[in-house]
Amino acid sequence: GLLAGLAHPRLRGALVALHDAPQRDWPLEALAEAAGLSRTVFANTFRDVVGCTPGVYLQRWRIGLVQKGLREGRALKHLAVEVGYGGEAALSRAFRAYTGLSPRAWRQSQTGVG
């Protein structure tokens, strides 16, 4: 997973970039460039070392940041901008697809409040 990716001399740059700027649009070309690899070699190496595609990894990272923000009581509209979604609706769809719950239902399941 992440630790294996960070230990990899080429993938480290791409992972650090993703973590530093999750709100950025990250096409495969930009990540491959950050790693100093071709698109194909980067995509295959990332999947083999990290265990998922770069797109799936970015979605997991973004949703994890949103979950942290929701636990802190932060507004979804602010979180959407911070992690790179076009708005609350887009973030809500991605959140539900990943967790199986709406952000509100997830927050209630974590804190017992709406």
pLDDT of residue 32: 95
**24-78 confidence digits (pLDDT tens):** 999 999 999 999 999 999 999 999 999 999 999 999 999 999 999 999 999 999 9
- Band of pLDDT at residue 8, cut at 50, 70 and 90: confident
Structure tokens at 73: 């009581």
Residue type, 47: R
Mean per-residue pLDDT over the chain, rounded: 91
Please give the model's pTM, rounded to 2 decimal places: 0.87
Cα–Cα distance between 8 and 6 in angstroms, integer? 5
- pLDDT value at residue 7: 72
pLDDT at 2: 72
Q: State how far the Cα of 48 lies from the Cα of 78, in Å rounded to an integer.
A: 34
Q: Are 83 and 23 in contact (CB under 8 A)?
A: yes
